[in-house]
Amino acid sequence: MSTRRHYSPADRVLMQADAALRTLLPFSGQPQRPSPAIPKPDAELTEAESRHVAGLMRINHTGEVCAQGLYQGQALTARREEIREAMDHAADEEIDHLAWCEQRIHQLGSHTSVLNPLFYGLSFGIGAGAGLISDRISLGFVAATEDQVCKHLDDHLGQLPPVDEKSRAILEQMRLDEAHHATAALAAGGLRFPGPIKFGMSMLSKVMTKATYRI
């Protein structure tokens, strides 16, 4: 006898509303894993270095807000139960990243982006739309998005001051997790997006990074 619980559409809407609040309210996301930054030593950063690192971590935090919106929108409209469960699981893992980035931003004496609700709403709409088209498109969108995230993380890792081991530990673990999500999405049947679509996604991500670096 199956013990899997089946939720009504109304249940799922309420669950998504709760997930949105946990994503957007400060320190409301509870990570399942401790931050990789905890065992790393504190570093003496100049004021300029602190501002720059905080800006990079703010970008990554907003990226995780977008990931939550994307996964939650896809989970709401996915056709197959196993795809819905995979999206929910990925969103749970991304909560770790969200919390780690937020913790590091506040350690640096800065703040998360005030634009997060806007980017969350846009990402949720994109995810829900992709899920309505097909699960294959939805999974392909995950893979392409995670590829873009990995490129951002590689760039940010190259910009960190060498002494900032805390931020580096966070971004390196995020890089591993995001690459795994991309591979898993393709293995589950995701469509490999062509170059022009990936280029368009890259342009949109640049808008997000420029907008959230300071605000």
Please report, in range form, the residues annotated as the binding site for Fe cation: 64, 94, 97, 146, 178, 181
58 vs 213: CA distance, rounded Å: 6
> How far, in whole angstroms, is CA 176 from its chain's centroid?
13
Residue 83: both structure tokens together = 């795809």
138 vs 74: CA distance, rounded Å: 7
6 vs 104: CA distance, rounded Å: 38
Binding-site residue set: 64, 94, 97, 146, 178, 181
188 vs 60: CA distance, rounded Å: 26
The runs of H, that is alpha helices, within 78-134 are 81-107, 116-133
Question: Within 10 A of 184 (CB to CB), how many other CB atoms are there?
Answer: 17
Question: Within 10 A of 132 (CB to CB), how many other CB atoms are there?
Answer: 15
73 vs 67: CA distance, rounded Å: 10
Residue among 159, 141, 166 at smallest CA distance from 67 = 141
